[in-house]
Amino acid sequence: MISLIVPTLGTRMDELNRLFDSLDNQTYKEIEAIVVSQANWDVVENLLEGRTFKYKHVKTNIRGLSFARNEGLQYVSGDILTFADDDCWYPNNAFEVVSGKMLESNYEIGCFQYFDPIGWEAPRVYAEKEKEKINRIEILQKCSIEIFINLEKVSNEDLLFDTRFGVGAEYPRGEDTILLMDLYEKKYCISYIPKIVVYHPCKERSRSFTQEEWSIKGIVCKRMFKNPLVGLSVYILLTVRKFHRLDHPVGTLVEGIKKFITFKK
């Protein structure tokens, strides 16, 4: 069975309905949705009523994406786990593809692809070939909705998000790559499969970033890498590559370095 954890504030009714419809329409029926609602519980419950897929509705007053995912982990009973956003949705054969590939290749952690069928674009240029084990730099390009985890090979105890990171937290980004890097450092094998299995709006491919938004990358890089020199080098490299999309490139680079230095792991 595939379990997906869906954190939500219950404010995106149309998007949630689209997500739930896509779960109803899956060709692979062994699905369990762990819906963690942090507000508007009745709205979420109404959208869940009458669905054909299994679900557990977890209600909490505490905000934060990483907290909600950690909370949802306690209720997972599937063999494969993924983390859904409440504005993503799935092609009808998505979980059939995932289940088949994860079992066939005996992967521990598989990173697939997502696509925006409305804007008709991908978030990045994906590699064309499958890769049994990706490296640290490739991890930086992954995001939570692409990740599928074989729970027969990966311990739930190793899947906790750092609650300082993610939407609604002190540092509102980077929680997914931090989790993947933590798993990499624990010697889990992270694989890449070039198949589209999830849809999501592409929001960041061409937009610019404010100094506050991007400089948080300095903190994320320090948290991700054991060696601070490596972490700092990666932050500088990423920032230079994005200079054309930063509102204040030099100031952003300097601010990120300051945050890197002062952040305590």
Same domain? For 191 and 92 the reply is: yes
Give yes or no for residue 134 having a pLDDT over 70: yes
Domain contains 205: no
**144/44 same-domain check:** yes
Rounded to two decimals, the pTM is: 0.94
Same domain, 59 and 131: yes
**According to the model, what pLDDT value does residue 203 have?**
77
DSSP state of 130: -
119, burial (CB in 10 Å: exposed 0-12, middle 13-18, buried 19+): exposed
pLDDT band of residue 205 (cuts 50, 70, 90) is low
User: How buried is residue 78: exposed, middle or buried, by Cβ count under 10 Å (0-12/13-18/19+)?
Assistant: middle
Token couple for 46: 């109404």
Tokens 């909600």 belong to which residue?
68
The answer on pLDDT for 204 being more than 80 is no
Q: Domain range spanning residue 194?
A: 2-199
CB 79 within 8 A of CB 151: yes
pLDDT for the residue 12: 93
**Using an 8 Å Cβ cutoff, are 139 and 131 in contact?**
no
Helix or strand run (H / E) with residue 126: none
The per-residue pLDDT for 206 is 62
Structure tokens at 63: 């905000």
The total number of structural domains that make up the chain: 2
Q: Which residues are registered as beta bridge partners of 192?
A: 111, 131
Which range has the worst mean pLDDT, 13-22, 70-79, 134-143, 196-205? 196-205
Q: Compute the CA torsion angle 164, 107, 151, 20 (nearest 10 deg).
A: 80
What percentage of the chain carries pLDDT values higher than 90? Answer: 94
Is there a single domain that holds both residue 133 and residue 239? no
Question: Considering the domain boundaries, does residue 154 fall inside one?
Answer: yes
Which residues does 246 contact at the CB level (< 8 Å), separation at least 6?
208, 209, 211, 214, 239, 252
**pLDDT of 141 strictly over 70:** yes
pLDDT per position as a tens digit, 84-127 = 999 999 999 999 999 999 989 999 999 999 999 999 999 999 99
Q: What is the pLDDT of residue 208?
A: 84
How far is 94 from 227, CA to CA, in rounded Å? Answer: 38
Share of the chain above pLDDT 70, in %: 98
- For the chain, the average pLDDT equals 95
Would 152 be classed as within a structural domain?
Answer: yes
In a domain, 206, yes or no: no
The residues, ordered by sequence, that sit 6+ positions from 241 with a Cβ below 8 Å of its Cβ are none
The answer to whether residue 216 sits within a structural domain is yes
Q: Residue 88 maps to which CATH number?
A: 3.90.550.10
**pLDDT tens for residues 41-64?**
999 999 999 999 999 999 999 999
Q: What angle do CA 225, 226, 229 make, to 5 degrees?
A: 75
